[in-house]
Structure 1
Amino acid sequence: MTIRGSVDSLTADGAAGWAFGIGFAPGRFLVLQALLDGRVIGETTADQPRHDLAAAGLGDGRCGFTMAFYDAPVDQQLLPFISIRPRGGDVELPRTSLTGVGEYFGTIHARFPAAGRQRCVFGGLWTDRTDAARLLAGRVEVGATPPGVRGALQRIIGSGHAVLRDVVLPVDAEQDVLSRPDASLSGVVDPASGAAGRRFLAGVPELLFQPASLSLLKAMMDDTPVVHRVVLSHGEETGTPFMQPSAAERLPSPAESVLVVACLPTGTGSSLQVEIIAGSHEFPEFTADGRSRWLPSPPAGQTPPAIEIARRCDASIRMIEIGPQDLLILGPGTVYRLRPAGDQTSALQAWCIPSRISPSRVLEQPDAQTFVVRHPSGALLAV
């Protein structure tokens, strides 16, 4: 026997949908039950006329149902765990309504709006908690966070990013390998690509781990920062699609990734423009089909979850411009893109994680060589 059907609506009071038994004799209908933790909380017969189902070739269309729950209303938090099945069977009708994991968490968050929580089911940095502003005040009060980084942390918490102006100390151009990046270095900088890549990577910690940026990263992570991924682009190639720092690559803890963006001038008057989707660090986590925006992007041709959610939220775009002496710090949940730059500008993107975790590729390829540069502060580059 073949059964087709779906649950089109599931509320605290009952369920509605359709169920059709292929090969059933005329006048014979399916009896459906709603189960919660093995207990029957509702029962009905799928015999209601549905003209749309008749037009689709499902018999005479008398296979719709509306079911009222015995103990209505059911707690909204329990809706994801209710199953609709034919009586005496183990087959569960699929749902077309949005009553999955996203709605489960949404219901809890709406019911307890003041409860502090992470914005991602995978956990994350304390700066991404809904009560991060209150946490910051307490951390400064007890001495867990230096007062000097309070302003930058407030910007990270409030807008998902912070621009550190004039923090990059000038270096003699003749000694600064970052001011003359090899043209062959483009995309993810791989130390295995040759001496040019290793020379460039060796200079990255000195640029990124300035006193102001290092203090901020340590305060966000409660740990020593480690650069695990470096991407270099030049001129027009600096333009990128919208993306989210946590989705750059697979991590055991995807919500603990911070992006640092720097402008590398190869001439005078260079600057880099970055567009940020305002409020994206506070977006919901899941799309309608249950995909998390905090995970690596989907295959080509499929809209990234972060962009799908941004469209749903009618988000706006904010432009930021940084110069050679500035650093842009982006939280793991902030959606951004780089704009194409002039011929005399290169863009450096460096992903940092706490030293307590390692990228998944390191665990999957234990024999791969890791290029390590240790900064005098103890911070690392390990790619």
Structure 2
Amino acid sequence: MTIRGSIDELTPLAASGWAHDDRASEPILVQAMINGAVIGEAIADLNRPDLAAAGLGDGRCGFHIAFGAAIDPSQLAFVAVKPSRGDVELPRTNLTGYIDAFRAMRARHPGVGWSRSIFGGLWTDRVDARRRLAGRVAIGAISQENAGPLGRFIESGHVLLGGALAPAGFDIRMTEAVARLPAGPLSPRGSLDEADVLTALPGLLFRDAPLGLLRGAFDDNPLVCRAELMRGTTRFAQPSTAEPLPAPTECAALVTGIGEGQLLLDIVRDSHALPEFTPDGESRWLARGGATLALATAAAASTETIGLGADDLAVIGPGTLYRLRVPEGMTALVALATPNRQTPLRFLTGESGDFTIRHGSGAVLSL
């Protein structure tokens, strides 16, 4: 049997595509499967003029397989379509070809750790991250003090560093300067208030607790390449889409509240471990708008709410979905940190990177 074909569309309800056997006189039966269980089947006999024009018989080799029941979107990456009399899976078009390659590699080497993304990423996003953390602690590469927060970061995709900015975060003068500024990204070309706030940021963000966590997660000193003030209730977002980066999986958001009150941080639980691709075949690390949130909602994800005071700092991993609820009279500061080895894409095009403060620790603020 010589089979050619592909999966052209895949949704929680059905799979569509084409399959053609060069040696068969009749259309073939194709089956959709998850973990070896058949979830639907169909005869590949739908008319496809484009395939006829390509020389594939009379073109009647298309298929549409309706699943017996809707599947969880988180399982889309594991749907296989095969001829009923063979074991060869049909490849995918414009969907998850990367996953097909990874699936074969993982089947051959099941004990090897791997990243959850085709983009690679931080070691904290690997499936063997806990084992790697224990090894790093054992050889002294990560201190016992930082092992606890890093473990929580691995487990949940975020970590709250209570009191990390003590005694009081920004001083009164800086708090008043922040209150006078509009919401949005801080610019070094802005007002004197913006310049004052940016100058104060390294001393605030690069204190021992966040610096130790970021160094451990990044295997490098951190580079803060974006700082933004937010008020009111924000939409759900993830750090990996906040800034164009060569490696979107290598970043983290630092969040703190400025002023009197308590900033509320809503986290979509386990969103850092969502499947690589959305139902539309787009990597969750690059999805804009609500695509990734839609995937989380379809997967019946729940949220947890964390309260942050003026001396608390939350560190949020690249794929974690979050939103802020900022009370009136308070401002949220969100800073995007990447490893120092990263160069944001806008820096490479000459749009930014002309304002740089190097901290004594080796960390850098560059906007």
**Range of TM-score over shorter length:** 0.7 to 0.9
Match 1:242 to one of 220, 226, 236: 236
Task: Find out whether 1:193 has 2:187 as its counterpart.
Answer: no
Q: Which secondary structure state, in structure 1, belongs to the residue aligned with residue 256 of structure 2?
A: strand
Q: Structure 1: where are the runs of 5+ without partners?
A: 20-31, 34-41, 55-60, 82-93
Alpha-carbon separation, structure 2, partners of 1:376 and 1:104 = 44
Match of 1:44 in 2: 24
**Aligned match of 2:280:** 289
In 2, distance between residues paired with 1:257 and 1:174? Answer: 28
Alignment CA distance shift 1:115-1:261 (3 Å): same
Partner of 1:208: 205
Larger CA Rg, structure 1 vs 2: 1
Q: Secondary structure at the match of 2:178?
A: coil
Partner residue, 2:318: 332
Report how far residue 335 of structure 1 moved: 1.0
RMSD of Structure 2 on Structure 1 (CA):
3.7
TM-score, scaled to structure 2 = 0.76
Check 1:62–1:209 CA distance in 2 against 1; reply closer, same or farther (3 A cut): closer
Tell me how far 1:375 sits from its aligned partner: 1.9
In structure 2, list runs of 5 or more residues that go unmatched.
Answer: 29-41, 48-57, 64-80
Cα distance, 1:321 vs. partner? 0.9
2:146 alignment partner, one of 126, 145, 149: 149
Task: State the match for 1:128 in structure 2.
Answer: 125
Asked if 2 retains the 8 angstrom alpha-carbon contact of 1:185 and 1:197, the reply is no
Q: Secondary structure at the match of 1:122?
A: coil
Structure-2 residue corresponding to 1:303: 290
Give the distance between the partners of 1:290 and 1:203, measured in 2 at CA. 42
Q: Distance in 1 between matches of 2:234 and 2:170?
A: 28
Q: How many percent of aligned residue pairs carry the same amino acid?
A: 38
Matches within 5 A, 1:1-383: 32-33=20-21, 42-45=22-25, 63=60, 72-74=86-88, 76=89, 79-80=90-91, 100-106=97-103, 109=106, 113-170=110-167, 176-178=173-175, 180-234=177-231, 236=232, 239-265=233-259, 267=260, 270-295=261-286, 297-298=287-288, 303-304=290-291, 306-339=292-325, 341-365=326-350, 368=352, 370-383=354-367
Provide the TM-score with structure 1 as the length reference. 0.73
Q: Distance in 1 between matches of 2:216 and 2:301?
A: 29
Change (3 A) 1:125 1:18: closer
Q: CA deviation at 1:160?
A: 0.7
Aligned-pair CA distance for 1:7: 5.8
SS of structure 1 residue aligned to 2:131: helix
How many residues are treated as equivalent by the alignment? Answer: 322
Taking structure 1 as reference, are residues 71 and 325 closer, same or farther at Cα in structure 2, changes over 3 Å only? same
Tell me the SS of whatever aligns to 1:192.
coil
Cα drift, residue 53 of structure 1: 6.3
